[in-house]
Amino acid sequence: MSTQSTREYPQSERDWKYVKVEIENGIAWVSLNRPEKRNAMNPPLNDEMVEILDALEVDESVGVVVLTGSGDSFSGGMDLKEYFRDLDDLPYAQQIRKRRSAWQWQWRMLLRYSKPTIAMVNGWCFGAAFTPLVACDLAIAAEDATFGLSEINWAMLPGGNVLQAVIATMNLRDAMYYVTTGDPFTGRKAMEMGLVNEAVPLADLKDRTTALAQQLLSKNPTVLRGAKAAVRQVKRLDWEASDEYLTAKNAQVRLLDPEGGRAAGLTQFLDEKSFRPGLGGYQRNG
């Protein structure tokens, strides 16, 4: 345990080779950092991302994680040489080992992450980049960013759970169209289809993402963690199971919340009359 830092895992900000991590005012800016290869994801980048997400999850100085890319690209997808061609020549067990670290961070870890995550799509977003994009809770794109499900042009179908991510966000007609044609589309179109929350001019992208991250930082983290987990789970449950789950989840959140946010909110509304949800005014810990 370090004596200079209260952080349990200060290595989250260490010098990574293929990823840049900057922590500022509670926001961890995680940039895929191979701009000369348009941030294509190769096996060592994937290994680093597993370690980084693991470290940031327990880093007390971090409340929100933003995933983005260095230079003019979010990510050009899997590295066609190092992840596909080079792995084809390895024994199957070794291929699986390398593929697992891709899947591990791109959807397994992000889908169940205990802190809110925002994908900030600054530029090119192709193929396997859709998986972490959708596995992040929220997404904001530059309106002129270019998206594409280009797998069809490599005589592949969107594996690595790319298609699962597509179907979780886009409707069947749009999914089928872009998977079969491989046509590129803009950030604006991505917003219209519900693949991202918002599309803004590139010049405003970082400010808008920062404002959204700050809004999330102002919420009760225990409740936020429960709410985002519930959004993912309820989608897969029927009405009876989801009612049971939500009742249990609310009880869990109430028990775990060190701030006692539920009682505080009710007091502000019912007794102090200082908070009206439609008018704002709620003070955390108030």
Q: Which is nearer to ligand V55, 33 or 106 (CB)?
A: 106
Which span (25-33, 109-117, 140-148, 154-162) binds ligand V55, by CB under 6 A? 154-162
Residue 76 interface partner, choices ligand ACO, ligand V55, none, CB cut-off 5-8 Å depending on type: ligand ACO
Q: Is 99 in the site for ligand V55 (CB under 6 A)?
A: yes
Residue in the block written with tokens 């803004």: 200
Which span (13-21, 99-107, 178-186, 228-236) binds ligand V55, by CB under 6 A? 99-107
Q: Is 162 in the site for ligand V55 (CB under 6 A)?
A: yes
39: left (phi over 0), alpha (psi -120 to 50) or beta: left
Residue 80 interface partner, choices ligand ACO, ligand V55, none, CB cut-off 5-8 Å depending on type: ligand ACO
Q: Is 37 in the site for ligand ACO (CB under 6 A)?
A: yes
Q: Is 81 in the site for ligand ACO (CB under 6 A)?
A: yes
Q: Which is nearer to ligand ACO, 80 or 246 (CB)?
A: 80
Q: Which of 69, 116, 132, 158 binds ligand V55 (CB under 6 A)?
A: 158
Q: Are the C-beta atoms of 128 and 77 separated by less than 8 Å? A: yes
Q: Are the C-beta atoms of 264 and 275 separated by less than 8 Å? A: no
Q: Which of 79, 209, 213, 228 binds ligand ACO (CB under 6 A)?
A: 79
Residue 40 interface partner, choices ligand ACO, ligand V55, none, CB cut-off 5-8 Å depending on type: ligand ACO
Q: Are the C-beta atoms of 178 and 185 separated by less than 8 Å? A: yes
- CB of 152 vs ligand ACO, minimal distance in Å: 10
CA distance 219 to 200: 24
Q: Which is nearer to ligand V55, 157 or 251 (CB)?
A: 157
Residues in contact with ligand ACO by CB under 6 A are: 37-38, 40, 73, 76-81, 124, 126-128, 150-151, 154
